[in-house]
A and B are shown apart, each in its own frame.
Chain A
Amino acid sequence: DGGITQSPKYLFRKEGQNVTLSCEQNLNHDAMYWYRQDPGQGLRLIYYSQIVNDFQKGDIAEGYSVSREKKESFPLTVTSAQKNPTAFYLCASSIRTGYNQPQHFGDGTRLSIL
């Protein structure tokens, strides 16, 4: 089945540690996105990528980094510079970027601080 796979489902970060969240899609979509959702809040865009080896900052990129070495994969690293990382992280993809393209989401990763 085609879809977006995020792993792990739950992740715990120690003080000063970098952690990487995985996102893989087999939908052959060009565009991929990372969002953060805090309790009772909407989604805020962290980074997005339109094509391989290219990505742009979203609204809250500080303390995060990404790479897009393969079309299928868009991992997100939460660095130690992100002082409030506890949130629900959602990866999404769309056929291509553009204001009229719906995005489809993976199941998410819940990150907490130990």
Chain B
Amino acid sequence: QKEVEQNSGPLSVPEGAIASLNCTYSDRVSQSFFWYRQYSGKSPELIMSIYSNGDKEDGRFTAQLNKASQYVSLLIRDSQPSDSATYLCAVGITGKLIFGQGTTLQVKP
């Protein structure tokens, strides 16, 4: 079992819809969780961090964490074509970040 798992997609949503990206992790002691956005050919860009159970909102982005079920999700409201990218989930374990393989999101006009 991989330490951090994401569905590779592609996840396709129409413009204006809510995109839901999910990530599960295997290590129960994980304490920090991050979402990065990576455009094709570019480096990852940090968009959200979450450390405690519940929801954290930042603009059109909401991160949701459920430690009991060991999953973290990212919701993107009012999706725009410019949101089309690969979204990487990263989990903090013993001083390092472990990355999932990423989910590719396609927002269609």
| Pairwise interchain contact A104-B31, C-beta atoms closer than 8 A | no
| Pairwise interchain contact B49-A102, C-beta atoms closer than 8 A | yes
Chain B CB within 8 A of A55 CB: no
CB distance from A111 to the nearest CB of B (A): 14
| Pairwise interchain contact A45-B43, C-beta atoms closer than 8 A | no
| Pairwise interchain contact A100-B96, C-beta atoms closer than 8 A | no
Total residues of chain B contacting the partner, CB 8 A:
25
Q: In the complex, what distance in Å separates the CA atom of A98 from the CA atom of B45?
A: 19
Q: Which residues of B contact A (CB under 8 A)?
A: 4, 8, 30-32, 34, 42-46, 49, 51, 88, 90, 92-97, 99-102
Question: Which A residues lie within 8 Å of B42 (CB)?
Answer: 107-108
**Partner pick for B88 among A42, A48, A58, A107, CB 8 A cutoff:** A42
Interface size on A, as a range, is 20 to 34
Chain B CB within 8 A of A106 CB: yes
| Pairwise interchain contact A107-B43, C-beta atoms closer than 8 A | yes
